[in-house]
C-alpha cells in the first residue's frame, strides 16, 4: 500500500472534510487521508480484536479431543477454525493501515497488546463450550454487528464477513445449552455451573460503563462505534436473559429484573475491579493462555523459516 499525505492543507481543514465524509456515510479506504489518532485507534482496536480471535481458539480448542459426539466434534473444529479465519481477516484489516503482522505478533506475545478479557477465564467443563457459544459469541455478535457499520472500509468488510459466519457459532452453543438444560441431572448441573461462571464475564466483556469509557464519544463521532457499551449490554441482556430463564436455568444475579417503566433490564453491580485485574493480566488464565500462544509460536519458528528458505532457493535457481 502507498504512503499518502503530501498535502499542504492544514490538519484542521482536513479533519473537517474527513468528518464530513463520515457524516455522509462514505467509507474511508486505505490510502485516504485520515487523522493520525483515527489510524492509531483503529490499529489498536482491530489488532486487539484479532488477538482475541486468535487466543480465543484455546479455551474451546482444548475440548475438541473430548467432544462427546462426532457431530459436536465436527462443529467444534469448524467453529475454532472460523476463529482462526476471523483473526486472519482482522489482521488483514490492520495491515491495510500499515501495521505488519510481525509487529502485531510481537506486541501480542510480549503482552504489550491487549485482548478480550473473556478468554482469560477457564473452560473447565464441556458445557463451557456451549455457554461460550451462546453468551460470549452472542455478546460478541452484538459488538460486531455494530462494527460492521464502521467508517473504515476494511474493518467494516471484515465484520460483515465475520457476522455472516458467526451466527452459526451462537446457534450451536444455544442448541447445546438448551439440550443439556433439559438433559440428565448431571448435564443440567454441568450447564448451570457453566452459566454461573460465564454470566458476569460476558457482561463485562462488553466494556466499562459509558461514564468510565472516555474514548467512546470520539469513536462514535468518527463512526468507528455506533453505539455505547451500555447500549450494547442492554441489548444483550434483553436477548439472552428471558431465554435462559425459560430454559429453567438460574442467572447468578439476584437483582436482575425487567423494569416495565423504563423498558430496561436492571442488573446488579458489575465487579469492575475483577474486570480491570483481568485486563491488566491478572485473570485466572492470562499466563496459561499467553504461554500456550508463545509456545506454539516458538515451536513453529523453524517451520516459518523453512518455507522462507525454500522460497529463496526456488528464486535463486
Partner 1 sequence: MDTQWPRWEVFKKDTAKKPYQAVGSVHAADADHALLNARNVFVRRPQAVSLWVAPAAVIFSRTAEQLEQGNPLPDVDQSVQQTYQIFRKATHRRSMTFMDHIGQVEAPSPAHALQAAIAQFPDPPALAWWIIPADQIISSGEDREMAAAWFDPAKTKTYKHQSAYGFVSARPQGRRRSGAKDE
Partner 2 sequence: MNEAVTGALTSRLTALADDELILAQRNSEWTGHAPILEEDIALANIAQDELGHATVWLGLLEPFSGRSPDEMAFFRDAEDFLNVQMVELPKGDWAFTMLRQYLFDAYEHILIEALLASTYQPLADAAAKFRGEEMYHLRHTHLWVERLGLGTDESNRRMQDALDILWPAAGQLFVPLPDDHLLVHEGIFPDLAILQDQWVAIVRPHLTAAGLTFPAEIANTAARGFHTEHMATLLADMQLVARWEPDGEW
- Please give the residue ranges that form the binding site for partner 2 (CB under 8 A): 54, 57-58, 61-62, 64-70, 72-74, 77-78, 80-81, 84-85, 87-88, 91, 126, 179-180, 183-184, 186-187, 292, 295-296, 299-310, 313
Residue 102 contact partner, candidates partner 2, partner 1, none, CB within 5 to 8 A by sort of partner: partner 1
Contact 191, 249 (CB under 8 A): yes
Does 294 sit near partner 1 (CB under 8 A)? no
Q: Which of 285, 30, 301 is nearest to 154 (CA)?
A: 30
6 contact, one of partner 1, partner 2, none, CB 5-8 Å limit per kind: partner 1
Check residue 105 for interaction with partner 1 (CB under 8 A): yes
C-alpha cell at 111: 503482552
Nearer to partner 2 (CB atom), residue 9 or residue 303? 303
Which of 136, 178, 249, 290 binds partner 1 (CB under 8 A)? It is 178
Q: Are 244 and 195 in contact (CB under 8 A)?
A: yes
Evaluate whether 21 touches 222 at the Cβ level (below 8 Å).
no
> What are the backbone angles phi and psi of residue 264, rounded to the nearest 5°?
-115, 155
Which helix (H) or strand (E) element contains residue 258?
Answer: strand 257-259
Query: DSSP state, 28?
Result: B
Q: Which does 61 bind (CB under 5 to 8 A by kind): partner 2, partner 1, none?
A: partner 2
Nearest Cα to 124, choosing from 10, 288, 272, 295?
288
> CA distances (Å), 190 to each of 72, 165, 187, 194, 292, in order?
17, 28, 5, 6, 26
Q: How far is the CB of 157 from partner 1 (least distance, A)?
A: 6
From the CB of 234, what's the least distance to partner 1, in Å?
20
* Binding pattern for the stretch 43-72 against partner 1, x by CB under 8 A and - elsewhere: ----------------------------x-
Instruction: Map residue 294 onto helix, strand or coil.
Output: helix
**Burial class (CB within 10 angstroms; exposed 0-12, middle 13-18, buried 19+) of 104:** buried
| Beta carbon of residue 109, minimum distance to partner 2 (angstroms, whole number) | 13
Residue 27 interacts with which of partner 1, partner 2, none, CB < 5 to 8 Å by class: partner 1
* 7 contact, one of partner 1, partner 2, none, CB 5-8 Å limit per kind: partner 1
What is the C-alpha to C-alpha distance for residues 274 and 201, in angstroms, rounded to an integer? 9
Binding site for partner 1 (CB under 8 A): 1-2, 4, 6-7, 25-27, 29-33, 71, 74-75, 78, 81-82, 85, 88-89, 92, 95, 100-102, 105-106, 148-149, 153-154, 156-158, 160-161, 164-165, 167-168, 170-172, 174-175, 178-179, 182, 243, 246-247, 297, 301, 304-305, 307-308, 310-311, 314
Amino acid at each position: 500500500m502507498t504512503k499518502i499525505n503530501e498535502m499542504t492543507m492544514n490538519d484542521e481543514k482536513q479533519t473537517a472534510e474527513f468528518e464530513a465524509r463520515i457524516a455522509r456515510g462514505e467509507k474511508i479506504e486505505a490510502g485516504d487521508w485520515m487523522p493520525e489518532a483515527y489510524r492509531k485507534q483503529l490499529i489498536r482496536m482491530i489488532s486487539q480484536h484479532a488477538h482475541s480471535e486468535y487466543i480465543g481458539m484455546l479455551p474451546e480448542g482444548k475440548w475438541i479431543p473430548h467432544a462427546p459426539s462426532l457431530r459436536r466434534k465436527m462443529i467444534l473444529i469448524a467453529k475454532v477454525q472460523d476463529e482462526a479465519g476471523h483473526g486472519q481477516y482482522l489482521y488483514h484489516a490492520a495491515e491495510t493501515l500499515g501495521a505488519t503482522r510481525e509487529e502485531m505478533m510481537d506486541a501480542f506475545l510480549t503482552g504489550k497488546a491487549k485482548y478480550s478479557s473473556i478468554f482469560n477465564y477457564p473452560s473447565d467443563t464441556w458445557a463451557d463450550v456451549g455457554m461460550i457459544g451462546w453468551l460470549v459469541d452472542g455478546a460478541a455478535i452484538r459488538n460486531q454487528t455494530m462494527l460492521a457499520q464502521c467508517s473504515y472500509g476494511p474493518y467494516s468488510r471484515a465484520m460483515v464477513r465475520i457476522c455472516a459466519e458467526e451466527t452459526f457459532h451462537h446457534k450451536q452453543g444455544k442448541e447445546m445449552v438448551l439440550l443439556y438444560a433439559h438433559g440428565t441431572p448431571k448435564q443440567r448441573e454441568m450447564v448451570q455451573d457453566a452459566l454461573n461462571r460465564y454470566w458476569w464475564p460476558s457482561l463485562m466483556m462488553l466494556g466499562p460503563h459509558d461514564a468510565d469509557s472516555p474514548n467512546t464519544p470520539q469513536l462514535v463521532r468518527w463512526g468507528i462505534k455506533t453505539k455505547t457499551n451500555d447500549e450494547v449490554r442492554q441489548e444483550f441482556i434483553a436477548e439472552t436473559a428471558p431465554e435462559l430463564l425459560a430454559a429453567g436455568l438460574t442467572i447468578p444475579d439476584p437483582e436482575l429484573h425487567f423494569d416495565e417503566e423504563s423498558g430496561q433490564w436492571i442488573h446488579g453491580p458489575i465487579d469492575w475491579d475483577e474486570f480491570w485485574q483481568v485486563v491488566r493480566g491478572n485473570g485466572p488464565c492470562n499466563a496459561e493462555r499467553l504461554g500456550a500462544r508463545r509456545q506454539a509460536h516458538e515451536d513453529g519458528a523453524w517451520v516459518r523459516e523453512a518455507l522462507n528458505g525454500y522460497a529463496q532457493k526456488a528464486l535463486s535457481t
